[in-house]
Structure 1
Amino acid sequence: MAYYPSRVGETPIETVDISLFITETSDSLADLERLRSGQALVRALHNLGFVKVAGHGIEKHEIETAFAWTKKLFDLPYEDKMRAPHPPSSMPHRGYSGIGKEKVYSPADVEANGAVANPAKALRKISDFKESYEIGSEDDPVQQNIWLPDDILPDFRRRMADLYKRMCGVSEALLQAICVGLGLNDEERTALDRLISYRHCQLRLLHYPAISKDRLQNDLIARLPSHTDWGTFTILFQDGGGGLELKNPQSQEYLHAEPEDETIILNIGDMLQRFTNDYFISASHRVSIPKADRVPETGIPARYSIPFFTTPDFTHVVETLPRFVTTETPCKYEPVRFDEYGASVSKYQYEGNDS
C-alpha cells in the first residue's frame, strides 16, 4: 500500500452505494433513495469516468473465494495452464495467455509508432508483465470458452461460470442505476439496454507476478500501460496490493484507486462514451510500477485482479442517443458496429494479428 500514494491535491475517488438497485424493495421512500443513488452514480461518472461502488450484492466471502480460485489457477505449472491456450490472434479472446503474450496499448501509442515499418513490434519493446485467463458466457455463439481439463483444476469451470453469472447481475443493477440517474424514458432505456449483451461479456482473471528490486532497476518492464476499455463499462475487483491508477479527465493526472474491502471499481468504456456523446468519458487507466528507489530489497509482491467487461452484441451498431446531441454539443461520433470497432482497436493485441 505504501508504494502507491494518492496524488496530492486530488479529490478522492467517490464511493456510491447501489444496494437499493439490488433489493426488490419498492415504496415511495425507496424510490426516492434509488433516484438519489442513481443520480450520485451518474454525477460521479460524468465528472471522472469512474467511481467506487458499494452495496453491489457480492459478499466479501464470495470475493475472497474468487481470488482464491484465481491464485489456484496461476499457481499451476505453465504446462498445465497451456492446456487451455489463448489462440495466437485476438479472436476468440478466451483461455490462458502467458506472461508478455498480450500487449495493451492506447491509440496514442499506435499514433506514436505509426511511422515505423512494424508498429506491432515497436509497441512490444516493453512487454506487459502479466498473465491472464479469459472467460465468457457458455452461450456465446461467437467466442467459445477454452477451459482447462477438469482433472487439472477440478470445479474451476463451474465456479467461473457461476461468477460470470453473478457479474451479469451486478452489471444489470448498474445499468438500471445509470438509467434512473439519467432520467431515461422507455425508448432510451431500451437503447441503453442494448449496450450490454450478457452472452458477449468477458470475465478476466489477472496475475501480475512479483518483481525483484534488481529487475526494476535494470529492465524495461510494465504491468499494464495506460489505455481505455473498448466495451460499455468495466467492473473490477482488486486485491490489497494496489497499483491501479485512473486518469482525472480534468487535471490529466492519475489518481490511485486505493483498494477497499467490499467495493468495486466501475469505469466507463468507449461504447458508453460514444452513446452519450462524451457526457461520460471512457476512463484511461493503468497498473503502475513504483520507482525502484521506493521499493524494499524484497521487491514488489504479486498482484491479482478480476475485471468484468460488459459489451454489446458483436453485430450491434452503437449510435449516440439523440438526447445528448444539441446545438451546443453536436454529435461527435458516427455509428459504429461493435465487432468492427473492436477489431480496429485490438489489431496488435496478440502477435498473431501483427501482420
Structure 2
Amino acid sequence: MALTGLWPDRDADVAAAPGEPLALYVHWPFCLAKCPYCDFNSHVRDRIDQPRFAAALRRELAFESARLGRRRLLSVFFGGGTPSLMEPGTVAGLLDEAAGCFDLDPGIEITLEANPTSIEAGRLRDFRAAGVNRVSIGIQSLEEPALRMLGRRHSAAEAVAALDLARRLFPRLSFDLIYARPHQTLAAWRAELRAALAIAADHLSLYQLTIEPGTQFEVRHRAGGLVLPEPDLAAALYEATGEECARAGLLAYEVSNYAVPGGESRHNLAYWRYQDYAGIGAGAHGRVSVGGVLRATRRHRAPEIWLERVERDGHAMTDDAAVPAVERAREALLMGLRLAEGIDLERFQARTGCCLDEAVDAGILETARAEGYLRLTDTHLIALPEGRLRLDALLGALVL
C-alpha cells in the first residue's frame, strides 16, 4: 500500500480525535445499463452472486470498524452503480452489522440511491422495512426525448409513479435532474423544473451536464455530435435554477443541491465539511482518522477482483495513506467552498494543520473579495453566489 510523503512536523498531531463521528458509504457497482454520461465505477453483468457480494461487504465493514473503533455513526449511504438492484436483505444485513460496530446517532440518515424502473420501484417497501429512511431517485429528466438522449431506461410516467410511491414510504426523499442539455432553452428548463418542484419533497440535486473522460458522451462530443450550451446560457440556466427553487422554498445549500431548511443531505455534508467518512465496496474512497492521523483509503475498482481480495484478506484496499497537511488543506477548500455556509476557519485549521493564508494565494483572495466572489470574516470563508457561478475557475486560481 502506497504511503504519500508527510510533512515531518505537521502531520502527526492534527486531523481528528479518535471519537470523530463517522459517515459510511457502501458502493454497489452494478447497473442494468451504462448511461452515456456516467463515469462512475459501474458495471453491467448478466449474473451477480448476490450472497457472495453481500458477505464480502459485511466483511469489509467489520475490517473498517476494527481499526476505526466504536464511533458515532451519523449516516449510511448506499451508492453506485445502482444499489436498488441489491437484495433488500443485503441492505438489512449491512445495517445490522453497522449497528453492532458503531453507536447509531439518534437522527441517523440512511440513504439508498434508486432508479424509477419498475424493477427497482417494486423493492422500495422492502428497503423501507430494512431500515432505509431516505431515498435518492435518479430521474434525470421529466421529458421523454431527454430521457432517451441520456440513455435512461424509464419513462417520465414511471418517474412520477416512483416518486409518488417513495413519498408515501419514506420520511425523506430526493431526486436528481440533469440540465444544460443540448438544445435546451431557458424557458424549457424553467417549465421542466417547475413541474419537478411541484412533486418534490425536501431535497433536489440539479446537475449541469458535463462531459466526463471515458464516457460515450465524450466520444460524441469530440466528434461534434454532442454540443453543450454556450457558457452564457449555462450561467443563465444555473441562475434560473436557484430562482425557481428558492421560490418553492428549496435553498441552494451547495452548488448543485437544494433543500428545505433541515432537508439537507447529512451524508453529503460530511464530505463537504471534510468530516470522517469510511467507504466500502468496489472502488469506494474514504477519509478516516486512525490514531489521530487522517488517512485516504481506496478499494480496488474491479468488482470481481475486489470480491476475491476481500475473501482472501478481509478487505480490498489498494491505498491507505496518511494525507499530508498541504493535501488536507487543498481538499478542505475544494469541498467546503461549494457550500453556502462556507468554511469554518477554526475547524479548517484544526483539521488540516494549516492557517488559511498558508493554503490560498493572497493576491487572488483579495481580488476575489473585491469582485464580490468571496467573503472573508473572522470565522468563515464563503463563496458568494457570483463566486459559486464560476467556482471551478476560482478554485483553480485561489488554492495553492
TM-score normalised to the size of structure 1?
0.27
More helix by share: 2
Q: Which has the greater radius of gyration?
A: 2
